[in-house]
Chains A and B, each alone.
Chain A
Amino acid sequence: MQTTNRKLVNSMEKQLKLDSFLTIDNVSKIYPTPKGPYTVLQNVNLTINQGEFICLIGHSGCGKSTLLNMVSGFAQPTGGSVNLKGKAITQPGPDRMVVFQNYALLPWLTVFDNVYLAVDTVYPQKIEAEKRAIVREHLALVGLTEAMEKKPTQISGGMKQRVSIARALAIRPEVLILDEPFGALDPITKEELQEELLKIWHENRCTVLMITHDIDEALFLADRLVMMTNGPAATIGEVMSIPFARPRDRERIMEDPQYYDLRNHALDFLYNRFAHDDVA
């Protein structure tokens, strides 16, 4: 009787995982090194619903990027699996578009052509006018209509990041992956882009996975904040739900007393419970 129950529970759990949108199932990542195997990640479990906005936070070297690389398909887990809609992720693809840390724009193509390359590749069946319209629409969305014919070398870092976001959104990915997208930007540009990203996400409702180092950024953007323990053999230490109603207003949530509870909780996690050796 007990065994049948256990079996039932197991199969139900399995079914639940298959039904979920994106599951990270007991994932570990071990790199072979000359000094023996090095475990970056261990026992990582996370289930993400469709349309959720997830932020990842943790000290550098804790394997955040490695985890996201396994979702984007640039890296494969050593153990466990990452599944999107029940199918294991084995390679990168445009359904999981990445906004790269250093923008990864092609410097010989104009802003327009950088986005067009993506749209043209993902929608080969569409006619050219349609594809050009998609590019224009998404560049307008991030406020770059004026800079369409410029080369990436002629625009600022904030604008480059906008192009990178426009390129990612133009191909309607199911999952949008951002690796510390605003880290290199000045605070004003950063806030502007956060708001734009949130606005666009409201309209598209794609699932977002974003690495950040900024607790305030995470509190403003995310539905849930995933906090990682330190490496080696890092794992998810805690997942914090951020309950603020949407659409969010930066000033309003900062007046909310809950904001400081959450913020202190996250700070405590990062700087007391899992303080980095060189921080302290």
Chain B
Amino acid sequence: MTTTVKLNKNGTKNNPVLAFWQKHKNDLIPPLVGVIGFLLLWEMTSHLPGMRLPGPSSLFTDERTRILLLYPFYDRGGLDKGLFWQTMASLGRVAQGYSLAAIVGISVGILVGTQPFLDKALDPIFQFLRMVAPLAWVPIALVALQQNHPAAIFVIFITSVWPILINTTEGVKQIPQDYINVQKVLQLSKTKFFFKILLPSALPYIFTGLRIGIGLAWLAIIAAEIVMSGIVGIGFFIWDAYQQNYISEIILAVIYIGAIGLILDRAIAYLQKLIAPGQ
């Protein structure tokens, strides 16, 4: 009897998984309960008469979906690729459009933030354009650029650039008077002011913009790809699956989209911690 108790205690101490569970039990149980409850409810609803949306179990029961789930890396050429490759194709477009948006958004934002005239002149245009939904840009982009690939990049760019630009402008305008006074009394050069005061002071705002921007960019690519037919990408994959009535495949793709979106957001947050810690 005593030996079993002892073993148990030792087991808890030496097993890192168990130790982790013991420590974070209270933080882990509620979300687990939430997720499992949600899935159960969904599964039950899907069995109601007349309901066409399959439950989460269809990820395993549907054969085509199971293959997609288990073999994300397969590549049979053309559009018939595993979800990993579909996602990577979409991410590649996001990377291009978003990088462009970050470069343009931050540099124009700094320019506009430091020039009150430009700010007043351009703010109404920015405020107007940022309200245009990504999908509305698709036909414009297709007409203007005539090809799927550059049009997709443009849609991502134009969707994600506004929060980056507007937040950067705001960050530059919000530099505390104290720091401006330091610049004035020391008579700092323009370069020194830019690198030692303006940029670090605006950085938290810039990162807020970048985080909103990455989320919008990811939303935009899905929307853009759904409209642009015949390309490898998770957005078009969903559209294709819908056309062929493979509903459980859509569910799987949606899970991918949610997970990637979350990872992208966290990646920017991590980058912020790395570059501007404690701000």
Which of A26-34, A114-122, A216-224, A267-275 forms part of the interface with chain B?
Answer: A114-122
Q: Determine if A72 and B178 form an interchain contact, defined as CB atoms under 8 angstroms apart.
A: no
Q: Identify which of B178, B189, B196, B279 contacts A109 (C-beta below 8 A).
A: B196
A93 touches B178 (CB 8 A): no
Interface mask (B173-208 → A, CB under 8 Å = 1, otherwise 0): 000001101101111110010001100110100000
Task: Name the residue among A73, A106, A151 with the largest chain B CB count within 10 angstroms.
Answer: A106
Residue B276, interface by CB 8 Å: yes
Residues of B with C-beta under 8 A to A96: 185
Judge whether A122 and B186 touch: CB under 8 Å: yes
Interface residues as binary, A68-99 with B (CB distance below 8 Å gives 1, 0 otherwise): 00001110000000000000000111101110
Contacts of B203 in A (CB 8 A): 108
| Given A102-B178, A106-B200: A121 and B184 interface contact (C-beta under 8 Å) | no
A153 at interface by CB-CB < 8 Å: yes
- Per the bound structure, the CA–CA distance linking A102 and B189 in Å amounts to 23
Give bound CA distance, A92 to B177, whole Å: 14
Whether A121 contacts B189 by the Cβ 8 Å rule is yes
Decide yes or no whether B124 CB sits under 8 A from chain A.
no
Q: Are A117 and B186 in contact (CB under 8 A)?
A: yes
Q: Is B16 an interface residue (CB 8 A)?
A: no
The CA of A91 and the CA of B197, in the complex, are separated in Å by 20
Docked Cα-Cα span, A109 to B278, in Å, equals 12
Contact B181 A100 (CB under 8 A): yes
- Classify chain B's interface size: 10 to 19
B236 smallest CB distance to A (angstroms): 44
Query: Shortest Cβ distance from A176 into chain B, in angstroms?
Result: 12
Contacts of B186 in A (CB 8 A): 94, 117-118, 121-122, 171
Is A9 in the interface zone, CB < 8 Å from B?
A: no
When the two chains form their complex, are residues A93 and B179 in contact, meaning their CB atoms are under 8 A apart? no
Q: Find A93's partner among B185, B192, B279 (CB 8 Å cutoff).
A: B185
> B185 near A121 (CB under 8 angstroms)?
no
Q: Are A92 and B278 in contact (CB under 8 A)?
A: no
- The answer to whether A106 touches B185, judged by C-beta atoms less than 8 angstroms apart, is no
| Bound CA–CA A170/B73 (angstroms) | 63
A232 interfacial by beta-carbon distance below 8 Å: no
- Give the interface residue-count category, chain A: 20 to 34
Contact between chains at B276 and A97 (CB < 8 Å): no
User: Is there an interface contact between B278 and A100, defined as CB atoms closer than 8 Å?
Assistant: no
Decide yes or no: A98 and B276 within 8 Å by CB, A121-B186, A121-B189 being known contacts: no
Most chain A C-beta atoms within 10 Å of own C-beta, residue among B181, B189, B192, B279: B181
User: Is A107 part of the binding interface, using a Cβ–Cβ cutoff of 8 Å?
Assistant: yes
Q: Select one of B179, B181, B187, B200 contacting A121, CB under 8 A.
A: B187
Please name all residues of chain B whose beta carbon is closer than 8 Å to the beta carbon of A106 when the two chains form the complex.
Answer: 179, 182, 196-197, 200
81-116 of chain B: CB within 8 A of chain A: none
Q: Is A12 an interface residue (CB 8 A)?
A: no
A92 and B279 CA atoms in complex are apart in Å by 29
Q: Using Cβ atoms and an 8 Å threshold, which residues of chain B touch A109?
A: 196
Q: For the complex, what is the distance from the CA of A91 to the CA of B279, rounded to whole Å?
A: 32
Establish whether residues A74 and B184, one from each chain, have CB atoms under 8 Å apart when the complex forms.
Answer: yes
A133 sits at the interface (CB 8 A):
no
Interface: A155 (CB within 8 A): no
Interchain nearest-CB distance for B198 vs A (Å): 11
- A98 near B181: Cβ-Cβ < 8 Å: yes
For the complex, what is the distance from the CA of A106 to the CA of B203, rounded to whole Å? Answer: 13
- Residues A153 and B185 in contact, CB atoms below 8 Å apart: no
What is the distance, in angstroms, from B279's C-beta to the closest C-beta of chain A? Answer: 7
A237 to chain B, nearest CB (A): 29
A102 to chain B, nearest CB (A): 6
**Closest chain B residue to A171, Cβ basis:** B186
Partner of A92, one of B178, B187, B200, B201: B187
When C-beta atoms are compared, the residue in chain A nearest to B278 turns out to be A153
The complex places the Cα of A117 from the Cα of B179 at a distance, in Å, of 12
| A94 partner, pick from B185, B201, B278, B279, beta carbons under 8 A | B185
A-B contact pairs, 19 of them (CB 8 A): A73-B184, A92-B181, A92-B187, A93-B185, A93-B187, A94-B186, A96-B185, A98-B181, A103-B178, A104-B178, A104-B182, A106-B179, A106-B196, A109-B196, A117-B186, A118-B186, A121-B188, A121-B189, A153-B278
3 shortest interchain CB distances as A-B pairs: A104-B178, A108-B200, A92-B184
Q: What 16 new A-B contacts, CB under 8 Å, besides A100-B182, A121-B188?
A: A74-B184, A93-B185, A96-B185, A100-B178, A103-B178, A104-B182, A106-B200, A107-B279, A108-B201, A108-B203, A109-B196, A117-B186, A117-B196, A118-B186, A121-B187, A121-B189
Residues of chain A at the chain B interface (Cβ within 8 Å): 72-74, 91-94, 96-98, 100, 102-104, 106-109, 117-118, 121-122, 151, 153, 171
